[in-house]
Amino acid sequence: MNLLTELVAFIVAIGVLVVVHEYGHYSVARLCGVKVLRFSIGFGKPLARWVSKKTGVEWVVAALPLGGYVKMLDEREVVEGGAPIAAEELPRAFNRQGVGKRIAIVAAGPLANFLLAIVLFAAVFATGVTEPVAIVAAPPAGTVAAQAGFEGGEKIVAIRDANGAQAEPVRSWSDLRWKLLGAALDHERVVLSARDGQGTYDFAVNLAGLSGQDLDDDFMSKLGFDVGGATLRVAAVEPGSAAQRAGLVAGDTLRRMDGRPVDSAESFIAYVKAHAGKPVALEVERGAPQQSQRQDGQPESANDAANKTAENARAAAATSQTTSQLTVVPAPQRDEETGRSVGRIGAALATDAPSVDVHYGPIESVRLGATRTWDIAIYSLRMFGRMITGEASLKNLSGPVTIADYAGKSARLGPSAFLSFLALVSISLGVLNLLPIPVLDGGHLLYYLVEAVTGKAVSDRWQLVLQRAGLACIVALSAIALFNDLARLIHF
């Protein structure tokens, strides 16, 4: 079932992105008076085709769905049947257009992808999305978060540049991640304002020492920032496991490990993995009443508070709450991904993390959608540049297998997650096509910019040479992306 979900989500995602990209070329070409011969979704053998009686455009759905193209009238290409282009049609040929129109037509595809991303992000922001609150878990010693003074449990509410720029509010964990990522790319020092039960404090965070190798999907954890504030409970215990031998039972609430508060599943699992064969002291709460929480991030009303008080009183009367001190020794087990020995206790965990419903008005949603699209596009360009210079790993490149995997996962999470994923891939497609590599839109734009500056078109001979070089680059990038996909799939 998961495979089917991934396949359907992947086809939908690629289909939407290709149609939008090619329609950008098509619509601007028509506006510029260029005759469009064919609009194809996919390559290879046509599965379906029809010709518009109004425009004469042939619409095609082909067998290989990894792309598409818009074929325009062009004197440099052989017309089907070998017949010359009629004289009255020559003014509508692409190659007869001014350099400005050609630039507009070629740039329209990537720009359509960016516009789609803005619309999708705006829809997500307008309809609202439930995200974790920006509460920090206890950071590992030596990390950037620990060096800044975070102890765990602080709620980050604002971020500003250390040089005194105006503070920006932090609305959720996702918002914090994007703001820290932008600061990390610029090697900035930032100040995070956070509050706990005692008050609001400023924490100076130094991001100047990060390298391109650190800016991967897990960069927040590398900095020591993990989502905190969660209540961690034992959902199930495997028979004969270390957890069962230690006395853990389903329903136990984990409070502390070796004296440190437990408020993050990620940090708890990482701690257990790092202590294979070593005793870990646990403080657990047993029989604690389960309290309901609002999930929209809004303060409770008087009725909510009264209802909760009554509910808790009934639960407390029926259930006695006890605190127990247990010692568990994680059993050593080989990690299939890294090949190293890690600790495992054999317990399934359930988390109840505070969350906030983040949503904005229509105008603010569009503004934020445009800002998010710009930020991701610039981040993608910077990461690609760092991969070229060796500052970032080529492992960051992903191919169709990884895209299909994330498409399926995001589709299962719900419409907001899938739309956000679609926006991210649309931006990536737009950025990729703008790279100055021949055979891509960016390569053609480079030709036309040279023509605009020098007044002379790039010769057919040079275009042929550069075309071959560009094709070699694309094949190499595709091979690396496919290798990375296989490496993630079989963990080597």
Separation between Cα atoms, residue 150 and residue 155, nearest integer Å:
10
Q: How would DSSP label each residue in 81-137? A: TSPPPPGGGGGGSGGGS-HHHHHHHHHHHHHHHHHHHHHHHHHHHHH-EEEE--BBP
DSSP one-letter code for 342: E
Separation between Cα atoms, residue 427 and residue 373, nearest integer Å:
7
Residue in 158, 140, 297, 348 with CA at minimum distance from that of residue 226: 140
Asked whether 12 and 421 are in contact (CB, 8 A), the reply is: no
Separation between Cα atoms, residue 114 and residue 378, nearest integer Å:
12
Amino acid at 59: W
Residues contacting 117, CB < 8 A, separation 6+: 369, 372, 373, 376, 423, 424, 426, 427, 430
Separation between Cα atoms, residue 172 and residue 297, nearest integer Å:
10
- Strand 253-257, strand 322-328: pairing: unpaired
Q: Please calculate the CA angle 325-326-327 and round it to the nearest 5 degrees.
A: 135
SS3 29: helix
Please report how many Cα atoms fall inside a 13 Å half-sphere around the Cα of residue 387, on the Cβ side.
17
Query: In the chain, what is the greatest distance between 2 CA atoms, to the nearest angstrom?
Result: 93
Paired strand residues for 343: 332
Separation between Cα atoms, residue 269 and residue 255, nearest integer Å:
14
CA distances to 97, 220, 459 from 450, rounded to whole Å, are 16, 42, 11
- Distance from chain centroid for Cα 24: 24
Q: Tell me phi and psi for residue 214, to 5 degrees.
A: -85, -20
Other C-beta atoms closer than 10 Å to the C-beta of 300 total 12
Please identify which of the residues 6, 22, 131, 154 carries the catalytic annotation: 22
Separation between Cα atoms, residue 408 and residue 411, nearest integer Å:
5
Q: How would DSSP label each residue in 195-234? A: E-SS-EEEEEEE-TT--GGG-STTHHHHHT--B---EEEE
The helix (run of H) or strand (run of E) holding residue 412 is: helix 400-413
User: Any catalytic annotation for residue 22?
Assistant: yes
Q: Which residues are annotated as catalytic?
A: 22
